[in-house]
Amino acid sequence: MLKGPTWSLAHWLGLVAMIVVVWAVWLLVDAGWTRSSAVAHAGARLTILSGVFMAVQMAAEIGAGQAADASAAGRPATLIDLVEVMQVIGWPAFGMGFALLALGVTHSAPRLVSVLAAVGGVAAGLGGILVMGLHFLPAAPLFAGTNLLVPWIVWSGARAARREERVLEPSP
């Protein structure tokens, strides 16, 4: 996969997406969306921290392609080893943070949309553990769980944009 023609582009997009998600969640916290729920606040903080961690992981993964030949030949490939460890930590943290955020901010989206986002977050977290930690490659489709985060992100963003107070204003 590291030598695939779309590998670098996909991970550049992933890096940018992580930065945008972190920024958006930060704005929601700053606007007070998580103030009334300890679960949502913990989830938002975990999403922010793990999103930054995963952005760094994406950057490392972009560079890991240079170590593909060494890894395939059985030689040490420290960047690939680092990426695997980072994914085992980062995906479960990001997925759990997002699940807590989506379920904890009850006014952000319809319950079904929030539950689907939580399921998607948990699936991506399990993908990180099973695929990268245990090298169980048939579990790779679990990473597609991140697609279930998108309806919650869009719905919450639209709801935030329609609110009376501006999301960009800090909470009192």
Residue 170 belongs to some domain of the structure:
no
Question: Is residue 142 situated within a structural domain?
Answer: yes
Instruction: Please indicate, yes or no, whether the overall pTM of this predicted structure exceeds 0.95.
Output: no
Q: How many domains does the chain have?
A: 1
- The Cα–Cα gap between 41 and 49 comes to 12
Give the residue ranges of DSSP H helices in the chain.
Answer: 7-30, 38-64, 68-72, 78-104, 111-127, 149-162
Question: Is 1 domain-assigned?
Answer: no
Q: What is the mean pLDDT of residues 102-115?
A: 94
Q: Would you say residue 168 lies in a domain? A: no
Q: What is the pLDDT of residues 3-26, one digit of tens each?
A: 777 888 888 999 999 999 999 999
| Residue 147 three-state SS | helix
Tell me the residue length of the chain: 172
Kindly indicate the confidence band of residue 38, based on its pLDDT and cuts at 50, 70 and 90: very high
Domain for residue 26, yes or no? yes
- Given a cut of 60, is residue 154 above it in pLDDT? yes
Flag whether 21 is in a domain.
yes
Give percent of the chain above pLDDT 90.
Answer: 65
CA geometry: angle 77, 82, 88, nearest 5 deg: 130
35 vs 162: which has the higher pLDDT: 35
> Does a structural domain hold residue 172?
no
Segments forming the whole domain that contains residue 39? 7-162
Residue 167 domain flag? no
- Side-chain half-sphere CA neighbours of 150 within 13 A: 6
